[in-house]
Amino acid sequence: MAENHPPPDSPVLPQTFDGAKQIRFQCRKGIACWNACCSNIDISLTPYDILRLKHRFGISSGEFLQKYTVPYEMERDSIAGVKLRPVENGTACQFMTPEGCSVYEDRPTACRYYPVALLSLRRQDESTDRDSYALVRETHCLGHNEPRPITVDDYRKEQGLVEYDELARGWRQLVLKKKSSGPTIGKPSVRSRQLFFMACYDIDRFRPFVASDGFNDLYDLPPETLEKILGDDTELMLFGFRFLMQVLFGDESISMRHEAVEQRRLRHQAKAQRMEIEAAERRAAERDGMYENPDE
């Protein structure tokens, strides 16, 4: 699923449109190209896709990530994304069966959208409707020849995408914000990349992080909020988006304990000073010839 304008050699057609656009498409059992689209996959997952699939299998997010996904960089030196891992030594989806998708009720967003590409989604805080889509036309897909007209809005409803898009909105905003911040903000630190990965994709590792004393010393969450977040994966995921918006972009929506923040700032300052002193001492020692060069 594309989220930006397609490159010139992409099967995504250049015309973009809104949800009222009528397309002609139907995918149905018995069609001659059955499973062709699932035989050669490139499926990016949203955090909600991962939740749905890991619940389906009754496994932890860590197990799901390890068995069924590969990480990738959405942009060079930028934030991480996660894709479905194809079958060993092949390109087909691990969930494909002769009867079709074996995880159909929980299939990922990109599979639901196909052959529509979501180019951008209206921000929640914007009143104007800017959702924009394009059509993906690949020669192997015969669904475009089926005589069924349907608007994109109805197609999204039919495919259960209203809920999926709503629950991925915070994540998309984070991704777009990072992409649009560009090189001026620079390469995110290793820690922020790890936080992003954990909060977005590895929810079962994010939960103990949120439950930890260290986190609660810093963030002032009412006990009932904490209980709600820790007891429900979807709530925890949505909280994770807010947390990342705050940590990565300073968009403060979670109250902090300012005394603890100040103490942490002082600790970091002291550490930075210590490191600076040690580096200066090392430079002075080198200057004074105290470090012997083994080649001499």
Which positions lie near ligand SF4, rule CB under 6 A?
Answer: 27, 31, 33-38, 41, 43, 93, 95-96, 101, 103, 107-108, 111, 114, 140-143
In the complex with ligand SF4, which residue's Cβ is closer, 34 or 249? 34
For residue 144, the minimal CB distance to ligand SF4 (Å) is 8
In the complex with ligand SF4, which residue's Cβ is closer, 35 or 216? 35
In the complex with ligand SF4, which residue's Cβ is closer, 83 or 257? 83
Question: What are residue 256's DSSP bridge partners?
Answer: 219
> Is the four-CA dihedral 189, 254, 52, 17 of positive or negative sign?
negative
For residue 116, the minimal CB distance to ligand SF4 (Å) is 11
Amino acid 31 reads I
Can you spell out the DSSP letters for 29-81?
TT-TTTTGGGSS---B--HHHHHHHHHHHT--HHHHHHHHEEEEESSTTS-EE
In the complex with ligand SF4, which residue's Cβ is closer, 93 or 238? 93
For residue 101, the minimal CB distance to ligand SF4 (Å) is 3
Q: If DSSP codes are grouped into helix, strand and coil, which group holds residue 133?
A: strand
E strands in the chain:
12-17, 22-24, 69-73, 80-84, 96-97, 100-101, 116-120, 132-136, 149-151
What per-residue string of b and e applies to 264-285 under the rule 16 or more CB within 10 Å gives b?
A: eeeeeeeeeeeeeeeeeeeeee
Residue 109 class from Cβ within 10 Å (0-12 exposed, 13-18 middle, 19+ buried)?
buried
Q: If DSSP codes are grouped into helix, strand and coil, which group holds residue 117?
A: strand
Tally of helices (H runs) and strands (E runs) in the chain: 11, 9
In the complex with ligand SF4, which residue's Cβ is closer, 129 or 146? 146
For residue 246, the minimal CB distance to ligand SF4 (Å) is 33
In the complex with ligand SF4, which residue's Cβ is closer, 118 or 229? 118
In the complex with ligand SF4, which residue's Cβ is closer, 27 or 198? 27
For residue 181, the minimal CB distance to ligand SF4 (Å) is 31
For residue 210, the minimal CB distance to ligand SF4 (Å) is 29
For residue 42, the minimal CB distance to ligand SF4 (Å) is 9
